[in-house]
Amino acid sequence: MTEAKAIKPPTLPDAQTVTAVTHHTDRLFSFRCTRPASLRFRSGEFVMIGLMGAPDPKTGKQKPLLRAYSIASPSWDEELEFYSIKVPDGPLTSRLQHIQPGDEIILRPKPVGTLVHDALLPGKRIWFFATGTGFAPFASLLREPQTYQDYEEVIITHTCREVGELAYGAQIIESLKTDELLNEVIGEGFWKKIKYYPTTTREESPKMGRITDLMRTGEAFRDLGVTPICPQNDRAMICGNLAFNLELKEMLESYGLVEGANSDPQTYVVEKAFLD
Ligand code: A2P
């Protein structure tokens, strides 16, 4: 990880300064930046971030190139964290992957999103289902005290193609054990509420397969030592690629869960992962 020595004040409107960058694999990186004083958000929400585009050849004017990114840091953190894929020919991420501490990014301070506790009715267990960079909003929610205040059990599943792609999530989960705020607010040993279920689909690992298939056969429930999902006890949030979101949505509805929204809290919510 590279860190900024001294944070310079930003020069562009809506600009924030990058404070740290970590490359996890050749396809994935995360970075931290300053947080605008005006930005209030709920853990799990996303904002538009990006860089200035190239000047228009005719007018010479530059427009910002922005994409939706889930905030991976919790709402109480004084900085912001983001987790991103690197798409070699992606208009934004082909450039964003080269940012360094001290560089500026553009961040529109208007958070939105459905992966928030307010969109769910009270329940006993919460399931966070992620694929790939869809882990980002859960990196925020897993560091949010409300998650542990509201639920007796917190189950996070993360399906990736390769083992290296699980590293960011695994590090976040490991870091929870020594998280000062959570240990103080929820009590030591709070992390025993967490059940983590990482799986890979294209590289050998201790647990292979898509989470959807592992749930369909009952294997995931047996491995986790939990009862299958039911609308009385369970609440769920989904964030992954489109096919995954749709397949899991159908499965959850077959268990009796109902999709919720900020204006209509129900038993599960879904967000698409924001790819380039
Ligand atoms: P698979 O390798 O079998 O396609 P991606 O990197 O393409 O976004 O995929 C991330 C992970 O999500 C991969 O492990 C991929 O598995 C898995 N995945 C893709 N589609 C689905 C789906 N419909 N249900 C469950 N997992 C899926």
- 161 Cα nearest atom in ligand 1: 14
Look at residue 276 and tell me if it is in a domain. no
135 and 262: one domain?
Answer: yes
Which alpha helices (H) appear in 104-179, and where do they start and end?
A: 136-141, 145-150, 167-176
Regarding the beta carbon of 157 and ligand 1, being less than 6 Å apart is answered no
Spatial distance between the Cα atoms of 69 and 73, rounded to a whole number of angstroms: 12
Q: Read off the tokens for 207.
A: 């647990």
CB 134 near ligand 1, within 6 Å: no
pLDDT tens digits along 160-202: 999 999 999 999 999 999 999 999 999 998 999 999 999 999 9
Which ligand 1 atom is at minimum distance from the Cα of 212?
Answer: 25
**Would 239 be classed as within a structural domain?**
yes
Give the rounded distance of the alpha carbon of 252 from its chain centre. Answer: 20
126 lines ligand 1 (CB under 6 A): no
Answer yes or no: is pLDDT of 1 > 70: no
pTM: predicted TM-score of the whole model, two decimal places: 0.93
Same domain, yes or no: 208 and 129: yes
Same domain, 64 and 170: no
The answer on 168 and 43 residing in a single domain is no
Domain count, the chain: 2
The alpha carbon of 165 and the centre of ligand 1 are apart by a number of angstroms equal to 12
Q: What is the pLDDT of residues 194-241, one digit of tens each?
A: 999 999 999 999 999 999 999 999 999 999 999 999 999 999 999 999
Query: Which CATH number belongs to the domain containing residue 56 in this structure?
Result: 2.40.30.10
pLDDT band of 276, cuts 50, 70, 90: very low
**Structural domain for 156, as ranges:** 117-270
Q: Are residue 75 and residue 170 in the same domain, yes or no?
A: no
Residues 183 and 121 occupy one common structural domain: yes
- What pLDDT is recorded for position 62? 86
7-42: pLDDT as tens digits? 555 566 789 999 999 999 999 999 999 999 999 999
Which residue, 112, 144, 171, sits at the end of a domain? 112
